Amino acid sequence: MAAQAAGTTWAMAGLRAELRTKDLRLNLRWTMLAALAVAASGLAMGTGRMEAQEQGKLAAAAPVTYDNRFEVYGGLNYMLFQATPAPLKLMNLGGLEVSGTYWLSKKWGATADYRGDAGTSPVTPNTVFNGNALVVLQTGMAGVQYRVKQNQRVGFDLHAYGGVSHGWFNNTLQPAQSGLYNNITKPMEAAGGSLDFNRSKNLAIRLQPDVIVEQFGPGSRTFYSVSLGVVYRIGKR
């Protein structure tokens, strides 16, 4: 009887051990499956984020359609000028140019243009600014702009403006004492082109050379200017 009871006890212990082993194996399997599921989920999410990032990097920028209604330009301006009818040395003017264009169509636009420039001119007698007098021009013009050619990278325009310019020539001394023009407002015209290097659909870098015709003296004189700045396109036609 004792031997039979001992055998039964050992059998029950073996059965419990086997059940515990099976439970442990089952738990390990479920744990491994859960870990694999979490890893697969994380990998899928990471891959999705990477694909989204790659798509964002590889996605093409918005096309430059030139269908904007308005265009604003601002930049630095340089102009060659002469502030006296006498055959003195030419002078350099530097300043700012701001313009706004309303595009009537994809090719034609109406533009208002403002330029403010200042510089020093050689004078006689030698008095101020190391023998130079300060000259300031304030110019307002309006005209038309025509788009000659454009693509995704660059755009080329032609323009012609006309208006008036007011010159201050007595900022540092009287014009009669210096040989400069008197302070006066006279007609001024500008004709030239602009080359736009597109940075995006709305933003471009502009290089703009001009031929300037001014009439401060007894006749008209022709000079040159160039400006460099930023174009921003807004609205939709």
Domain boundaries, the chain: 1-59, 70-234
Q: Looking at the DSSP assignment, which residues form a beta bridge with residue 135?
A: 119
Q: Which of 184, 185, 175 is nearest to 123 (CA)?
A: 175
Six token digits for residue 120 = 């020093």
pLDDT at 11: 44
pLDDT at 17: 44
For 202: left if phi > 0, alpha if psi spans -120 to 50, otherwise beta; the answer is alpha
| C-alpha distances in Å from residue 167, one per residue of 24, 93, 175 | 97, 12, 11
Contact 212, 177 (CB under 8 A): no
Q: Quick one: pLDDT at residue 14?
A: 47
Query: Which segments in the chain show pLDDT lower than 50?
Result: 2-58
pTM, rounded to two decimals: 0.70
d(CA 158, CA 31): 74
Query: Measured between alpha carbons, how far apart are the two ends of the chain, in Å?
Result: 106
Architecture of the CATH domain 70-234:
Beta Barrel (2.40)
pLDDT computed for residue 198 by the predictor: 96
pLDDT at residue 219, rounded to an integer: 84
| pLDDT score at 224 | 95
| The token pair that represents 213 in the structure block | 């015709």
DSSP secondary structure, the chain, as one string: -HHHHHHHHHHHHHHHHHHHHHHHHHHHHHHHHHHHHHHHHHHHHHHHHHHHHHHHHHSPPPP-----SEEEEEEEEEEEE--SSSS---EEEEEEEEEEEEESSSSEEEEEEEEEEEEEEE-SS--STTTEEEEEEEEEEEEEEEEEEE-SSEEEEEEEEEEEEEEE--SSS-HHHHTPPPSEEEEEEEEEEEEEEESSSSEEEEEEEEEEEE-SSSS-EEEEEEEEEEEEEES--
